[in-house]
C-alpha cells in the first residue's frame, strides 16, 4: 500500500507536468539602425528589430531559442544571466567557455529549463558584443512567489549606459600601451528602456512591482523615487525579506524587484530619478568630487492632464546597503566550507605592455578549445587545472561548500558575477577595509543571495556557494570592458561528473565551421592532455573582438595518426 506521502508526491509531480510548457523563440541576429538617444548608429538587433524582444516563461518551463547569426561580419551567441542551467551547462552561452562563437550563417539552439522565478536578462557573451545592443529582458513568473497578491501591476525598467561608438573601436582604443591608467571607455548617454523612457500610469490604491534590470557595460545607477519608498522584495532573482529603501544603487547586470504603492493622499504626478554613477567609488571623495553627468527623470503619472516636468533632485546619494538585505527564507551561511578560492584583483600589464586585469597576477586568456569541451574530453585528467590553460581555472568537487574571497586592490568599485549559481554574500565591507583578514568572523547571520555583487574600492568580499551544479562557470567583473581586459576566473565544478558530457550537433557544427577543435585540452591536444603546446599565453596585440574572419582553409595542426 502506498503511504500518503508517496501519494501526495505522485500527485505533485503530475500537477507540475500539467503546468509546464515549452516556450519557443525563433530569433535571427541582424544589424539594425537605431537612435535610442537621438544619435543614430548600427546596433545588434533580433529579427530586424531593436530593442530586442523579451523572453517570458513560468517556473518549470522549457525555453527554446533557435538562434541564427545573420550579422555577416561578426560572430555571436547568447547568455541567460542568472539562469543556473542545471544539467544543461552547455547552454550557458559564453564563447570559448561553454560553446564556440556562432559564426555568420549558422544556427544554434539553446534549450533549458527555468528552475526559479524572478527577473533576469539575456545578452551576448561574445567578445564585448552586448554594449552594441544584443541584450533583452527575461522574466520567469513564479506560481509560488511569496509576494504574489501583494501587488497589482508589473513595470519593467531597464537602465543602461550607452555609447555612440561600437565596442570594437572602443576596446581597441582601451587596450593600448599608452593607456597606462587602465581607463575604460566612458559612456555618452544614459538610456532607460532602451530609449523609450518610462511613464507609469499610477492609480490610487494600487501597488506596482518594479523589475529593474541594468544592461550597463560600465556604469551603475542611483535610483530614487521622490516621496515614495522602494519596498525591496528581490535582488538578482533571489527573494528577500521586504525592506523599504529610499535610494538604491544598481550595478551592471544586477536586478532589483521592489513594490511602490500609490498612497491614499497621492495626487498629481511624481518624478523619479535615475542618476548614472561613473564615479570610481561614490563613497570615496578622496578620488575627486563626485560627478553625476547623466540623469533620467521618469514619472508616476496620476493625472495625465497635469504637467510632468518637475525634477527629482537628491542632495546626497546614500543608497541602501544591499549586503545587509535578508534572504526571504532566513537561511544561515553555508557551514564547513572545504574549498577556499582567494582572488586578488589588480590591474596588470602583459608582455607587450598592453593594459590587462589580473586575478592573482594572471590575466584570463581564452583558449582554442571551449573550457567545458576540455572538461568533457580529458578523462580523469579533467580535475587537473593544467588541461584548461590560462583561464584562471579552479577545480571544485561535487557537493563542496566553496568560499570565494575577492580582494579588490583597485580604488574603484567593481561588480562581480558568478555563472551557474546564486552565492551568499557573507561580508562586503566598506571601501578602504583592505584585504580579507584571513579569519571567518563578523559575517551576516542571514546573508543575502545574489548573482552579482558590488565590491568596494580597496576592500574585499566573502562569498559562498554549494557545488551541486556540475559545469564550467565563469566568475568575472561584469564591467564588460574589464572582461575584455581579462578580469575572469573559471570554476570547474564537479568535473568528475562531466566526463561523459555530450554536446548537441549544432553546437559542435559551430566549432567545426570555425575549425575549432572540440576535444582535448585547451589547445586540442588529445594524445597527451598534459601537453601544453599550443596554449595561448599572451594575447594577440591586435584586438579583433567579435569580428569574423573566415578560418584558413588548412588545419591549424597536423592530423594525428
Ligand atoms: C531555426 O532557424 C533556422 C534558420 O532560420 C530554421 O531553418 C529552422 O527551421 C529553425 N528551427 C526551428 C526548430 O524552429
Ligand atoms: C568614436 O567615434 C568618433 C567619430 O567616428 C571618432 O572620432 C573617435 O575617434 C571614436 N573613438 C574611439 C575610441 O573609437
Ligand atoms: C497609460 O495610460 C495611457 C492613457 O490612458 C495609455 O494610452 C497607455 O497605454 C497606458 N500605459 C500603460 C503602460 O499602461
Ligand atoms: C543629476 O542629479 C543629481 C542629483 O539630483 C544632481 O546632483 C546632478 O547635478 C544632476 N546632473 C545633471 C547633469 O543634471
Ligand atoms: C559543520 O561541522 C560541525 C563540526 O564538525 C558540525 O557540528 C556541523 O553539523 C557541520 N554543519 C554542517 C551544516 O554540515
Ligand atoms: C603578485 O605579484 C606581486 C608583485 O610581484 C606579489 O607581491 C604578489 O605576491 C603576487 N601575488 C600572487 C597571488 O601571486
Ligand atoms: C592523464 O594524462 C596523461 C598524459 O596524457 C596520461 O598518461 C594518463 O593516462 C591520463 N590519465 C588518465 C586517468 O586518463
Ligand atoms: C559590421 O557591420 C556593421 C553594420 O554595417 C558595422 O557597423 C560594423 O562596424 C561592421 N564591422 C565590424 C567589425 O563589426
Task: Give pLDDT tens digits for 303-339.
Answer: 999 999 999 999 999 999 999 999 999 999 999 999 9
Closest CA to ligand 2's atom 1: 165
Identical fold, 4-141 and 339-513: yes
Contacts of 188 (CB under 8 A, 6+ apart): 37, 39, 162, 163, 164
**CATH level 3 topology of 4-141:** Immunoglobulin-like (2.60.40)
Helix (H) or strand (E) holding 79: strand 79-81
CA distance linking residue 372 with residue 115, whole number of Å? 22
Ligand 3 within 6 A of 201 CB? yes
| Nearest residue to 488 via CA among 343, 325, 382, 383 | 343
Which of the listed residues 66, 109, 111 should we mutate to test ligand 1's pocket, taking the one with most ligand atoms within 8 A of CB? 66
CA distance linking residue 213 with residue 46, whole number of Å? 19
Question: What are the sequence ranges of the domains in the chain?
Answer: 4-141, 153-320, 339-513
pLDDT at 207 over 90: yes
Q: Looking at residues 4-9, what average pLDDT do you find? A: 37
Average of per-residue pLDDT values in the chain: 95
- Tell me the CA–centroid distance for residue 166 and ligand 2, in Å: 9
pLDDT at 10 over 80: no
pLDDT at 553: 74
pLDDT at 244 over 80: yes
- Tell me the CA–centroid distance for residue 336 and ligand 5, in Å: 6
Which of the listed residues 42, 162, 163, 169 should we mutate to test ligand 2's pocket, taking the one with most ligand atoms within 8 A of CB? 169
Ligand 1 within 6 A of 308 CB? no
CA distance linking residue 485 with residue 431, whole number of Å? 23
Q: What is the pTM of this model?
A: 0.94
CA distance linking residue 141 with residue 160, whole number of Å? 24
Residues with CB under 6 A from ligand 6: 344, 360-361
pLDDT at 14 over 90: no
pLDDT at 216 over 60: yes
Indicate which atom in ligand 7 lies nearest the CA of residue 379: 14
pLDDT at 270 over 50: yes
pLDDT at 493: 99
pLDDT band at 264 (very low <50, low <70, confident <90, very high): confident
pLDDT at 16: 46
Q: State the cell numbers at 87.
A: 544539467
Tens-place pLDDT, residues 47-77: 999 999 999 999 999 999 999 999 999 999 9
Please state, for a pLDDT cut of 70, what percent of the chain lies above it.
Answer: 95
Indicate which atom in ligand 1 lies nearest the CA of residue 64: 13
Ligand 2 within 6 A of 169 CB? yes
Ligand 8 within 6 A of 168 CB? yes
Superfamily of domain 339-513: Cupredoxins -  blue copper proteins (2.60.40.420)
Residue 178 to residues 152, 258, 353, 354: CA-CA distances in angstroms?
54, 44, 9, 8
Residue 286 to residues 97, 277, 291, 293: CA-CA distances in angstroms?
39, 16, 13, 19
pLDDT band at 15 (very low <50, low <70, confident <90, very high): very low
Q: Is 467 exposed, middle or buried (0-12, 13-18, 19+ CB in 10 A)?
A: buried
Indicate which atom in ligand 1 lies nearest the CA of residue 28: 5
pLDDT at 20: 84
- Tell me the CA–centroid distance for residue 77 and ligand 1, in Å: 16
pLDDT at 556: 52
CA distance linking residue 94 with residue 488, whole number of Å? 12
Query: In which order are the strands placed within the sheet that holds 452-455?
Result: 393-396, 488-493, 471-477, 414-418, 452-455
Tens-place pLDDT, residues 516-558: 999 999 999 999 999 999 999 999 999 999 999 998 875 555 5
CA distance linking residue 397 with residue 403, whole number of Å? 13
Ligand 5 within 6 A of 18 CB? no
pLDDT at 2: 34
Specify the 3-state DSSP secondary structure of 278: coil
DSSP output for 233-249: EEETTEEEEEEEESEEE
Q: Looking at residues 408-426, what average pLDDT do you find? A: 98
| Nearest residue to 479 via CA among 196, 189, 224, 187 | 187
- Tell me the CA–centroid distance for residue 73 and ligand 8, in Å: 6
pLDDT at 331: 98
pLDDT at 101 over 50: yes
pLDDT at 549: 93
Which of the listed residues 130, 166, 172, 548 should we mutate to test ligand 8's pocket, taking the one with most ligand atoms within 8 A of CB? 166
pLDDT at 389: 98
> Quick one: residue 434, left, alpha or beta (phi over 0 = left, psi -120 to 50 = alpha)?
left
| Nearest residue to 544 via CA among 99, 169, 187 | 169
Pairing of strands 355-359, 393-396: unpaired
- Tell me the CA–centroid distance for residue 360 and ligand 6, in Å: 7
pLDDT at 254 over 50: yes
CATH of domain 153-320: 2.60.40.420
Amino acid at each position: 500500500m502506498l503511504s500518503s506521502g508517496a501519494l501526495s508526491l505522485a500527485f505533485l509531480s503530475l500537477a507540475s507536468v500539467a503546468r509546464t510548457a515549452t516556450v519557443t523563440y525563433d530569433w535571427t541576429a541582424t544589424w539594425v539602425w537605431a537612435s535610442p538617444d537621438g544619435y543614430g548608429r548600427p546596433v545588434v538587433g533580433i529579427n530586424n528589430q531593436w530593442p530586442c524582444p523579451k523572453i517570458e516563461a513560468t517556473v518549470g518551463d522549457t525555453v527554446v531559442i533557435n538562434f541564427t547569426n545573420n550579422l555577416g561580419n561578426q560572430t555571436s551567441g547568447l547568455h541567460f544571466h542568472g539562469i543556473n542551467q542545471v544539467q544543461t551547462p552547455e547552454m550557458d552561452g559564453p564563447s570559448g567557455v561553454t560553446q564556440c562563437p556562432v559564426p555568420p550563417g549558422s544556427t544554434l539552439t539553446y534549450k533549458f529549463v527555468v528552475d526559479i522565478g524572478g527577473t533576469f536578462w539575456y545578452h551576448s557573451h561574445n567578445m564585448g558584443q552586448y554594449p552594441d545592443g544584443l541584450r533583452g529582458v527575461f522574466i520567469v513568473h513564479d506560481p509560488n512567489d511569496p509576494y504574489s497578491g501583494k501587488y497589482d501591476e508589473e513595470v519593467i525598467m531597464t537602465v543602461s549606459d550607452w555609447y555612440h561608438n561600437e565596442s570594437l573601436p572602443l576596446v581597441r582604443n582601451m587596450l593600448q600601451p599608452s593607456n597606462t591608467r587602465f581607463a575604460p571607455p566612458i559612456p555618452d548617454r544614459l538610456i532607460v528602456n532602451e530609449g523609450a523612457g518610462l511613464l507609469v500610469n499610477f492609480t490610487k490604491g494600487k501597488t506596482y512591482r518594479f523589475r529593474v534590470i541594468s544592461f550597463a557595460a560600465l556604469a551603475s545607477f542611483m535610483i530614487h523615487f521622490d516621496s515614495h519608498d522602494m519596498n525591496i522584495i528581490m535582488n538578482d532573482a533571489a527573494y528577500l525579506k521586504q525592506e523599504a529603501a529610499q535610494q538604491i544603487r544598481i550595478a551592471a547586470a544586477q536586478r532589483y524587484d521592489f513594490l511602490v504603492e500609490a498612497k491614499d493622499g497621492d495626487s498629481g504626478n511624481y518624478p523619479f530619478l535615475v542618476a548614472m554613477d561613473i564615479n570610481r567609488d561614490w563613497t570615496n571623495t578622496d578620488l575627486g568630487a563626485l560627478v553625476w553627468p547623466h540623469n533620467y527623470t521618469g514619472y508616476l503619472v496620476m493625472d495625465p492632464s497635469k504637467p510632468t516636468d518637475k525634477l527629482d533632485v537628491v542632495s546626497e546619494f546614500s543608497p541602501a546597503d544591499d549586503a545587509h538585505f535578508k534572504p526571504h527564507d532566513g537561511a544561515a551561511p553555508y557551514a564547513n566550507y572545504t574549498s577556499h578560492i582567494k582572488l586578488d584583483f589588480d590591474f596588470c600589464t602583459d608582455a607587450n605592455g598592453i593594459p590587462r586585469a589580473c586575478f592573482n597576477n594572471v590575466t584570463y586568456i581564452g583558449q582554442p578549445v571551449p573550457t567545458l569541451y576540455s572538461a568533457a574530453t580529458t578523462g580523469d585528467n579533467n580535475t587537473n587545472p593544467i588541461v584548461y590553460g590560462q583561464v584562471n581555472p579552479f577545480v571544485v568537487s561535487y557537493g563542496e561548500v566553496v568560499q570565494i574571497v575577492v580582494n579588490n586592490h583597485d580604488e574603484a568599485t567593481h561588480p562581480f558575477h558568478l555563472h551557474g549559481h546564486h552565492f551568499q554574500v557573507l561580508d562586503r565591507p566598506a571601501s578602504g577595509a583592505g584585504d580579507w583578514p584571513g579569519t571567518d568572523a563578523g559575517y551576516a547571520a542571514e546573508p543575502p543571495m545574489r548573482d552579482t555583487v558590488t565590491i568596494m574600492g580597496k576592500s574585499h568580499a566573502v562569498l559562498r556557494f554549494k557545488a551541486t551544479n556540475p559545469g564550467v562557470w565563469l566568475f568575472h567583473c561584469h564591467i564588460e570592458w574589464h572582461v575584455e581586459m581579462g578580469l575572469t576566473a573559471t570554476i570547474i565544478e564537479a568535473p568528475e561528473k562531466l566526463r561523459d558530457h555530450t554536446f548537441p550537433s549544432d553546437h559542435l557544427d559551430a566549432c567545426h565551421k570555425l575549425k575549432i577543435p572540440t576535444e582535448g585540452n585547451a589547445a586540442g591536444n588529445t594524445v597527451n592532455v598534459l601537453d601544453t603546446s599550443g596554449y595561448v599565453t599572451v594575447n594577440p596585440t591586435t584586438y579583433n573582438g567579435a569580428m569574423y574572419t573566415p578560418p584558413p582553409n588548412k588545419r591549424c595542426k597536423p592530423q594525428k595518426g
